[in-house]
């Protein structure tokens, strides 16, 4: 591998890793606050991508503007999903049943997408779709930069919300010790709902970023759910910094392996990392003291 190619792959890996980090943070949020494994996260991601594409098709405006609609919409849907579906599950079997329930939601979304917009592959065509920036022998597609910037801004915002606001404190308290949080007067049900909404809002942003750069089709979410699930297990279920680190590392690894191995085999690095993690450190490599029990 030449130096240029290496640098190129490295940069692409970091850019993709950023997007993975944002989406994995959402997944981690659900798990941290409610012990819910949200299989439907990537289905909502594809839904957001379709909405961005449809918005662009019908209005002709930039798909990024669809965020104004999809982010609040997904937030409300997430809140509703937690309050009306997930909270109905019995606490003792919550974790496993939540997988099945959200899986059911994922299937429904995939089916409806195919039903409404057919299985045809869709792609957003923009003026800057093929534009790229040269930087020291490395060429970076503008759309990838935009996606990374969106991910970085959202992750930063997420960090600020969790650290600086009273809602963030309540959310973290609920994550650490739900009963104690209730004792000090936190409405944990409401916090859980809002946390779920926040997580789903990240899927809206990720999906819009995805629509800029990828050809989309209804069953695409399967390609995302595997790597994302691997990332949150490697990072340690429930740990947002762990998810971010694992996302960047694995994103870069997959991108570097893509040159000698090809796209398909490079994907297996996520699963390999998943199995190695379980063999060596089932609770995950970064943080994540909760993981093993769930």
Partner 1 sequence: MPNASSATPAVRPTTARVTRIAALLALVAVVLLFPSLAPDPFILSVGVVILSYAVLATSWNLVGGFTGYISLGHAAYSGLGGYATALLILRTGLDPWLALVAGGLIVALIAIPVGIASLRVRGASFVIVSIALVLILQLSFQSWATFTGGSGGLRVPRPFGPEVLRPEQHERFFYLHAALLALALLTWWAIERSRLGAGLKAIREDEDKAQALGVPTFAYKLTALVVSAFFTALGGGLYALWFGYLDPIFQFSILVGTYMVLMSLLGGVRSLFGPLLGAVVVGYAVEVFKSQYGDTQFHLVATGILLGLVVLFMPDGVIPALTSLVNRRRHAASIREVSAEDLAKQREEATP
134, with CB counted inside 10 A (0-12, 13-18, 19+), is exposed
Q: Are the beta carbons of 56 and 122 closer than 8 angstroms?
A: no
According to DSSP, residue 134 is labeled E
Query: Cβ 100 to partner 1, closest distance in Å?
Result: 5
Site string for partner 1, 161-200 (x = CB under 8 A): ----------------------------------------
Query: Cβ 252 to partner 1, closest distance in Å?
Result: 20
Nearer to partner 1, 51 or 230 (CB): 230
Does position 259 interact with partner 1 (CB under 8 A)? The reply is no
Residues in the chain: 294
Does position 237 interact with partner 1 (CB under 8 A)? The reply is yes
User: From its phi and psi, is residue 5 left (phi > 0), alpha (psi between -120 and 50) or beta?
Assistant: alpha
Stretch binding partner 1 (CB under 8 A), from 4-12, 29-37, 189-197, 240-248: 29-37
Does position 289 interact with partner 1 (CB under 8 A)? The reply is no
Does position 104 interact with partner 1 (CB under 8 A)? The reply is yes
List Cα–Cα distances, 245 to 33, 157, 194, 282, 284, in angstroms.
Answer: 20, 17, 25, 17, 12
Does position 23 interact with partner 1 (CB under 8 A)? The reply is no
Query: Cβ 151 to partner 1, closest distance in Å?
Result: 22
Nearer to partner 1, 154 or 175 (CB): 175
Does position 121 interact with partner 1 (CB under 8 A)? The reply is no
- One residue of 229, 244, 254, 256 binding partner 1 per CB under 8 A: 229
First CA to last CA distance, the chain: 41
- One residue of 59, 96, 139, 176 binding partner 1 per CB under 8 A: 96
- One residue of 181, 212, 256, 291 binding partner 1 per CB under 8 A: 291
Least Cα distance to 229 among 284, 266, 181, 166 occurs for 284
- The DSSP secondary structure of 46-112, one letter per residue, reads HHHHHHHHHHHHHH-S-GGGGHHHHHHHHHHHHHHHHHHTGGGS-GGGHHHHHHHHHHHHHHHHHHH
Nearer to partner 1, 10 or 261 (CB): 261
Nearer to partner 1, 170 or 228 (CB): 228
Stretch binding partner 1 (CB under 8 A), from 135-143, 180-188, 242-250, 269-277: 269-277
Q: Are the beta carbons of 259 and 1 closer than 8 angstroms?
A: yes
List Cα–Cα distances, 17 to 23, 31, 231, in angstroms.
Answer: 10, 20, 10
Given the structure tokens 């798909």, which residue do they identify?
Answer: 63
Least Cα distance to 52 among 260, 213, 247, 224 occurs for 213
- One residue of 10, 73, 99, 142 binding partner 1 per CB under 8 A: 99
Does position 112 interact with partner 1 (CB under 8 A)? The reply is yes
> Measured on CA atoms in the order 76, 120, 144, 24, is the torsion positive or negative?
positive
Residues that bind partner 1 (CB under 8 A): 31, 35, 37, 39, 85, 88-90, 92-93, 95-101, 103-115, 119, 218, 222, 225-226, 229-230, 233, 237, 262, 264-265, 267-268, 270-271, 274-275, 278-279, 282, 291-294
């Amino acid at each position: 591998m030449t130096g240029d190619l290496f640098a190129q792959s490295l940069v692409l890996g970091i850019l993709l890793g950023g997007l993975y980090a944002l989406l994995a943070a959402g997944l981690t949020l659900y798990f941290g606050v409610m012990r819910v494994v949200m299989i439907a996260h990537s289905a909502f991601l594809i839904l957001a991508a379709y909405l961005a594409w449809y918005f662009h098709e019908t209005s002709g405006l930039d798909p990024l503007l669809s965020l104004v609609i999809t982010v609040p919409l997904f937030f409300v849907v997430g809140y509703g999903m937690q309050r009306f579906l997930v909270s109905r599950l019995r606490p003792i079997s919550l974790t496993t049943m939540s997988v099945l329930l959200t899986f059911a939601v994922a299937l429904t979304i995939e089916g409806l997408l195919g039903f409404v917009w057919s299985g045809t592959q869709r792609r957003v065509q923009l003026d800057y779709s093929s534009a790229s920036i040269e930087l020291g022998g490395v060429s970076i597609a503008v759309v990838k930069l935009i996606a990374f910037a969106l991910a970085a801004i959202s992750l930063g915002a997420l960090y600020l919300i969790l650290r600086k606001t009273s809602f963030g404190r309540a959310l973290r308290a609920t994550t650490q010790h739900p009963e104690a949080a209730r004792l000090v007067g936190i409405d944990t049900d409401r916090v859980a709902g809002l946390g779920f909404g926040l997580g789903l809002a990240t899927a809206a942003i990720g999906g819009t970023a995805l629509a800029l750069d990828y050809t989309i089709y209804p069953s695409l979410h399967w390609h995302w759910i595997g790597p994302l699930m691997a990332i949150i297990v490697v990072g340690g279920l429930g740990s947002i910094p762990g998810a971010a680190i694992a996302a960047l590392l694995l994103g870069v690894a997959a991108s570097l392996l893509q040159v000698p191995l090809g796209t398909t085999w490079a994907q297996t690095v996520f699963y390999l990392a998943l199995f190695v993690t379980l063999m060596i450190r089932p609770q995950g490599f970064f943080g994540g003291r909760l993981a093993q029990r769930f």
